Amino acid sequence: MAKQKVAMLTAGGLAPCLSSAVGGLIERYSDVAPDIELIAYRSGYQGVLLGDSITITADMREKAPLLHRYGGSPIGNSRVKLTNAADCVKRGLVKEGENPLRVAAERLANDGVNILHTIGGDDTNTTAADLAAYLAANGYNLTVVGLPKTVDNDVVPIRQSLGAWTAAEVGAHFFDNVSNEQTAAPRTLIIHEVMGRHCGWLTAATARAYLQRTKSYEYVDGLMTNAKMKSIDAVYLPEMAFDLDAEAARLKDVMDRTGHATVFVSEGACLDAIVEEREAAGETIKRDAFGHVKIDTINVGGWFQKQFAGLISAERSLVQKSGYFARSAPANGDDLRLIQSMTDLAVESALNKVSGVTGHDEAQNGKLRTIEFPRIKGGKAFDISTTWFGEVMDTIGQKYPAA
C-alpha cells in the first residue's frame, strides 16, 4: 500500500477554533495512524499555490495539545478563491493564463498528498468543493474533508460551526467592560457592533451571553452603576425589519428616563441599504476575492450612530467593535468538545476516503456526519423565532418583526 500523506490548511477570517482544530487533527492522526506524514500549508490556499508548507515534526506532534490554549491559527490564514483567476494573478499567486485550480491540484499531487483537511467557513469549504470537483474530474486521487469554522454560525446545513459559541462568550466579556463607559458622561449612546455579515446569530448569542453574565451582579443601591446601566436597550439583526423613526422614539424615551442607551447591532444589519445609499452617492464599494463587500470599510455601527445620536439627543455616542477581540480568542470548553468530535470524525472520514464537511446535519435531525460538498452553502439566516431569542428580546422589551 502506498504511503499516505495528510495536508491541512486554515483559511478565511479567524475564529476561536483554528488553533485547537489543527492541534486536534495532529493529535488524532498521531493516535490512530502515527506513520502517516503530516504537513500544513502556510496561510491557507495561498500556501498551496506557492508550495509553501510546514512539515509536522515529532516534536510538534508531542506538543500539539498546547495548541488548544491559543487563538489565531498556528499555520496562518488568507482569503484566496481558486476560481477567481484574475485575483490570484493580481496577488502573484499564479501566472497569467494559469488555472489556479489546476495549479493547486498539481501542487497537491506533486507533494504526494492523499488527504486534505480544510478548516474554514463557507468560502473555504466551497473552495474546497471546487477543488475536490476539479480533482475528481481530472483523475487526481485525493480525499478532502473540511471542518466548519465561522463565528457567524451561518453555514448550511450545519447546526453549529466551530468557534461561534466562544465568540459569543468573549464578545459578552468585551462588552461587560465597555458598558461601564455609560458612567463617563451624561446621555451616552453606546453601540456594540458584532460580527455577522448576513446572519444575526452571533449578535443574538452575544446579547444572550451578556445578559446571562450580568444577571447575577449585585449593586450598591442609590448609585449609578446598576442593573439598568448594565442592560441592553436594542438589538438589530439582518433578519429583522428596521423602523428608524419608531426605534428612535423608543430609545429617546429610554435616554430621557435613564440617561443612557445601549444598542447591539450586527455588522450586517441594514448593510444592503447602506451600500445602496453610498453607491447612489457615487462611492465605489470595495469587495474581496469572493465578491463580498469589505464590511470593515462600511462601518455599520457608525451608520446607526449617525442615525440615532441626534434623534435621541445623545450628548456622547461611541461605537465599539468586539469582532477582532472575540474571533482571536482561544476556544472555550463547549467549543473544545465540539472541535474534538469533529476532528475525530474528520480523521475517520478521511481514512475511509469519504469527502465532505463534518457537522451536525440539520436535514438529518442534527446527526454528526460528513456532509456532501454540494450541500455546503454560506449565508444561512438566523431564525428569529427561536425560543431563546424571544426570551432575550422580551428581557430587552423590544418588538422584532422579521425583515
Just list the catalytic residues.
152
Was 150 annotated as part of a binding site?
yes
Residue 343 marked ligand-binding:
no
Rounded Cα–Cα distance for residues 80 and 75 (Å): 15
**Contact between residue 173 and residue 332 where contact means Cβ atoms under 8 Å apart:** no
287 is in an annotated binding site: no
Answer positive or negative: Cα dihedral of 364, 334, 379, 92.
negative
Residue 327 labeled ligand binder = yes
How many Å apart are CA 23 and CA 63, to the nearest integer? 9
Instruction: Report CA-CA distances (Å) from 121 to 11, 16, 250, 380.
Output: 8, 12, 37, 12
**CA pair distance 236, 266, nearest whole angstrom:** 6
The strand order across the sheet containing 260-266 reads 234-236, 260-266, 188-194, 316-321
In contact, 274 and 280? CB cutoff 8 Å: no
Classify 403 as helix, strand or coil: coil
Was 195 annotated as part of a binding site?
Answer: yes
The reply, when asked if residue 107 is annotated as ligand binding, is no
**Beta bridge pairs of residue 40:** 8, 54
Q: Is 140 annotated as a binding residue?
A: no
Distances (CA, A) of 318 to 137, 290, 305: 53, 31, 7
60 in a labelled binding site: no
Residue 13 marked in a binding site: yes
Contacts of 25 (CB under 8 A, 6+ apart): 6, 8, 38, 117, 343, 346, 347
Question: Rounded to 5 degrees, what angle do the CA atoms 105, 88, 293 make?
Answer: 120
What is the Cα–Cα distance from 270 to 279, expressed in whole angstroms?
14
72 assigned binding-site residue: no
Residue count of the chain, please give it: 403
- Whether residue 324 is annotated as binding a ligand: the answer is yes
Which run of H or of E encompasses 277? helix 271-280
Preceding omega of 157 cis (within 30 degrees of 0): yes
Distance CA 178, CA 134 (A): 48
Would you list which residues are annotated within the binding site?
A: 13, 122, 150-152, 195-197, 267, 324-327
Q: Which residues are annotated as a binding site for diphosphate?
A: 13
* Residues of the binding site for substrate: 150-152, 195-197, 267, 324-327
Known binding-site residue numbers for Mg(2+): 122
